[in-house]
Structure formats: C-alpha cells, structure tokens
Structure 1
Amino acid sequence: METKRYFVELSYDGTNYHGWQIQPNAVSVQECLDKALSTYFRQQVASLGCGRTDTGVHATQFFAHIDLVGVNERQLLNATTGVNALLPYSIAVHRIFEVAAVAHARFDATARAYHYYLHFRKNPFKVNRSWLYKGKLNVEQMNKAAELLLGQKDFSCFSKSNTQTFTNNCNISYAKVEQQADGLVFTIKADRFLRNMVRAIMGTLVMVGEGVIEAEHLTDIIASKNRSNAGQSVPACGLFLTSVVYPYVESD
C-alpha cells in the first residue's frame, strides 16, 4: 500500500510537558501525540515537528508531519475527532491533511511568530501563561531596542551554546512590545529562531526597560555574538508559539 505524508496542525498548553520533543524519562507533547495517532490509525506513527519548544512553553499553532500507510477517506475525515478523544485536554489537534511526499514541517516553514506575555499584578488566571513581573518598565525604550533587532543578523548572543545549527543568522521582520490590560505582550516574527532566542531577547529588553542598559547597547550585544553579554532568559510560562507559515498551506 502507498505511503502518504500528512501535516498535523495542533495547539498545546506546555505547562505539564518537558517541551515538544520526546525526552527520556519525561513526558513530552510529541510522545502524547504519537501515541494518540498510532492508536487511531492502527500503525506506528512518528511525527516530526516544525521546531522544538522548551519545558513550559506553549503553542497556539504548531505543525508536525507524519507518514501513513493505507489511510482511507473515512479515516481521514474522522481523524481530528478520533485523535482528540485520545489526547489530554492540554493538547488539541485542529486538522490533519495530506501534503506532498517531500513536504517538511520544519525545513519548509518560511516564517514563525512568538508572543511573550508578562503582567504586573498577581492574577490567578494568568498562572503558567504569563510572567508576573514586579517592577516598572519603560516600554518606549524597550521598543527602541526592539527596532535594532530587525533584519538579517547573527544572533549568537541570544542562543544556547552547543546547538546543532549550520548558522545562527536569522531575519527578524517584526519586533514590538505593546501595552495590555495589566501587562505587556512582546511579538516577534522571523524566518527562523535559535534555541532559547525569544526568552533571551525578552530578558535583554527587560534590562532596557529597567534602565540597566541603554537601548542603543543592543547593537553592541548583537555584534559581540556572546551569550553572556545579553540578559537572562525570562521564565518559559509567558512564551507562546503563535504562527508557523508555509508557502503551500492556507490558514484555516
């Protein structure tokens, strides 16, 4: 029987997972998804994600590709409902659809976007979904620094060391901090991201907002390519992967 490739679009609350990728002796989103898919389609399924999110990081949009043998039209039609019934409430599949045999969830993505949320007052409804920051921040200065992120640059200063990447160059097309009710949201879009990059950038912008460093100093930090010159990584709870773009996938 013919093997066909499919994309799975999903979202998840990462609070109780050790990230997307399968880990030894730890529960991951990928492990839960693969088990549910394997049970529903009655064959061994191994997904490959559009990237990897760290422990506690969330995704409102995430894609993975899978290869299946002999799936009929009725199985595919009922797949979203069937797989969701096998998944915990913290993981939801939105659609499963056929793509070209060479389509790749990770390498074919042309853009990604993240949101990072923080709030200033204790709020039980934001636990594990936003960072409680006890202080004041100068948003205008943070945005001056954020503008210096734009463009194609080597962002080694915001990356975890010893990562298996061919290059640390990324092209950031949008970066802005906006006021929300009792908080802030930082939105960043790029063609690709390095491991821990968004949390390290946000930590550096917070330093600017606190007045610890000047906004213009961000240029020197980037040029240094040294992680120790940038700010500390902010907590994972406020980070959401919100968009993954492919040239051949229409938004639902």
Structure 2
Amino acid sequence: MTCILHIDDDIELGTLLCEYLRGEGFDAEHCANPLDGLNRIQQGGVDLVVLDVMMREQNGLDTLKTLRQSSEVPVLMLTARGDNIDRIVGLELGADDYVPKPCMPREIVARIRAILRRTAESSNSTTARVARTLGPLSLDSSKRKASLNEEPVELTSAEFNVLEVLMSHAGEVVSKALLCEQGLGRKLERFDRSIDVHMSALRNKLNLNATDSVLALHTIRGQGYQLSLR
C-alpha cells in the first residue's frame, strides 16, 4: 500500500487528513515535528510527503532543504494562499508540486495521485522509451537516472519528468500546458509558474548557461520551451 507521510505541526489537521487519505486507499502517517518527519523518511517506506510550510519548530522550506540532501522522495507542499514566494522557493528547493491553503482534502488527494501516476508511468516506460540521448545528455527512464557527460545529475521527480518530456520532443517547441500535463500530471493553471521554476533548475543542474555547453534550453515567448543542440 502506498505510504503518504504528512508533516504538519497542526495535529488536528494531520489527524483529519490522514483519516481521509486512509479512506482513499492510502497508508497515511502524521508527524507533528519536522525533525521526526525527516527521521521517519530515513527509515524508508515513504512514497510521498505532504509538507506544510508554516511550522513552529522548523519551517517547511528548511525541512525540504534538509530532506533533499539525502532523499528524492516526491514532496507536495502546502503553502499559504497567495504566497507566491513560498511556492517558488519550494519548487526551487525540490518540491514536486504545491497546494495553496485552505484547500479541500480532495484536491490534495488529486495532486498526490497525479504525482504518483506520473512517477509510475515513467518507471513503467516501454523499452523504446527506456533510454534517451541528446548530445552529452542521457536519460534512463527505467532507472529514473540522468547523466551529463557520463556524470550523474541529481534531479527531483518533477524535474526528471519535465526533462523527459522535453527530450521526447527534442528540437521542438513544447508548450507549458503540455509540460504541465505530461510532466506534472495536471492541467496548467492561470498564473502557475511551476514549469518556469523547474526550467530554471534544469538550466542550472545541466549547466546550460555555460558558454561551452552544446545543449540549449530556449524560452520561446508565448509558445513554450525548446531543448536542442546548439
């Protein structure tokens, strides 16, 4: 059974959300202390983390930063409605998606399933989609591993998914809507900057801003993004 860990110092909310998740067929656990949550993740068996930003002991962004030093488990952030800074920083630190609070448990479940579905689809890729190469960049869908010049590149689940979509359309302009649907498993929302943040992360991790890079990730205004050889 898929295990969802909810890290939030609001015990009442945590209890209610876990009950709802269990009713939806998940194995759900709650940690009120972020440090306890990090320890639980290190024990293994957690498939996805729902992480609140506003916590007293240690805020969710610092918790996510610590988590990403040792784990690539998918993370869904719960952010304050209208706080775009938390959302952008969360994505930059490696969150896979976010839901603004207050929100309905049904929306959280929908986002969880979208993340898990996309991860599973990538892991169960057909043989034709197992390996992709573009110049020095290689992507192994079966192992969910990326390498540049034969050196491993550490990507979050969402970054890997988005890069996989770009590489499957190498040389073509890919719309943000398609990247969001195929990469994040959901429709693009108005004023949603998730894809832009993931693109910025990919540029940094793949060293695409270097003058000697043979790869280029172009922003095509009003259309989308294009990954190609220079």
**TM > 0.5 fold call:** no
More strand by share: 1
Q: TM-score, normalised by structure 1?
A: 0.27
RCO higher in structure (CA 8 A, sep ≥6): 1
Structure with greater proportional helix content: 2
Q: Give me the TM-score of the superposition, normalised by structure 2.
A: 0.29
